[in-house]
Amino acid sequence: MEWLNALDDDAAARHAAGLRRELRPRGAAIDLAGNDYLGLSRHPEVLAAAAGALAEFGLGATGSRLVRGTTAVHEALETGLADLLGAESALVYSSGYLANLGAVRALVRDGTLVVSDAHNHASIVDGCRLACAGRAGRAGAATVVAPHADPAAVRDILAAHPGRPAVVVTESVFSVDGDLAPLAELHAVARAHGALLLVDDAHALGVLGPRGAGGVAAAGLAGEPDVVVTATLSKSLGAAGGVVAGPRQLHRLLVDTGRTFIYDTALPPAVAAGALAALRLLAGGDALRAELHARTARAVARLRAEGLEVSAPDGGVVSVAAPSPDEAFAWAAACRERGVAVGCFRPPSTPDGRARLRLTVGVGVPAEDFDHALDIIIKERP
């Protein structure tokens, strides 16, 4: 049929450009691809908490919290997240992706200008599109993409639209290169122009800040009334789900009107219970964070010593440039065949169009395995 032929043509074009993607068995590789930074996904206390809730509540949530009812586990998790992040309140979602969609949509009103960093995650990009475009968006709302990590450019964009409601959106630790946004400077610019600052703290939660409270806390912005934080529970917490944290009025708005909360089946109680146990461990995990940063520095030094182009990460993401999408794909495949799992990032996942291997440093990997994985990555370079 014609539409299937068109799909085949599109797939062939992606293949020719080195942009095909494959589902494959997870296997028993040394994991430098997943985001379990602190190794909590298999911690005995986390598994025990999840198992207890699984026995009590069953496998799934069976509906949204507004329809089926909330649980004490969800509420305890939200209280704990709000406390760690220094926010008045927090609302848990079934994924970090949905949390970002919901947060952006909630903060955009008629006529709002959204200023989005050029390296922002796809969930933020999609949130901006949904909030600002088409009949489902807000009338007169628009998104302007700002140069990466450039407060002066953000200032100029806001200054060109005086009196207009605005939201500045950024990641804290960026998901591709692992660099940290200049959050204090961005907040100062946003506040000077009456704008809100929305920060996706996904890759900083558990990694940066006091008690692992994230990049916003590390910048001294926790609890500021014009700052909203989102994060995923699937990285340092080793679980699944997402959170939006901020003033209590925002929590009320999200529960009343947020489509990605109202119409989505809730995070399973067993996952919430595991995340809550991980949250308590994370807050006391200074030694784990120190080991994470030491390993990250060791990886960067070793890879650069071999002449590889490596990012200067502030968290646990190490980005290694590849010559082309095809070579990145082949490099990652060769590592996998040698027992090392790494991320392979190619357009459109890379904001600058350059292909990379992305290594995520996790302290759950034994130190000798981590160093062996670096040897393999170096040996299998294109």
What pLDDT is attached to residue 279?
98
Task: Let me know how long the chain is.
Answer: 382
The CATH architecture one would assign to domain 44-283 is 3-Layer(aba) Sandwich (3.40)
* Domain boundary assignment for the chain: 19-38+286-379, 44-283
**How many Å separate Cα 313 from the centre of its chain?**
15
The burial class, CB within 10 Å (0-12 / 13-18 / 19+), for 272 is buried
pLDDT surpasses 80 at 135:
no
4-45 pLDDT, tens digit per residue, is: 999 999 999 988 888 888 888 887 689 999 999 999 999 999
Tell me which fold the domain 19-38+286-379 belongs to. Answer: Aspartate Aminotransferase, domain 1 (3.90.1150)
Q: How far apart are CA 346 and CA 322, in angstroms?
A: 9
Cβ atoms within 10 A of the Cβ of 368, count? 8
Band of pLDDT at residue 245, cut at 50, 70 and 90: very high
- For residue 134, the model assigns a pLDDT of 67
Q: Which has the closest alpha carbon to 340: 359, 312, 320?
A: 359
- Residue 268 to residue 61: CA distance in whole angstroms: 5
Above 90 in pLDDT, residue 136?
no
Q: Please tell me the predicted confidence (pLDDT) of residue 41.
A: 97
Distance CA 35, CA 178 (A): 12
pLDDT of 50-104, one tens digit each? 999 999 999 999 999 999 989 999 999 999 999 999 999 999 999 999 999 999 9
Q: What's the rounded Cα separation, in Å, for the pair 78 and 225?
A: 18
Q: What is the pTM of this model?
A: 0.95
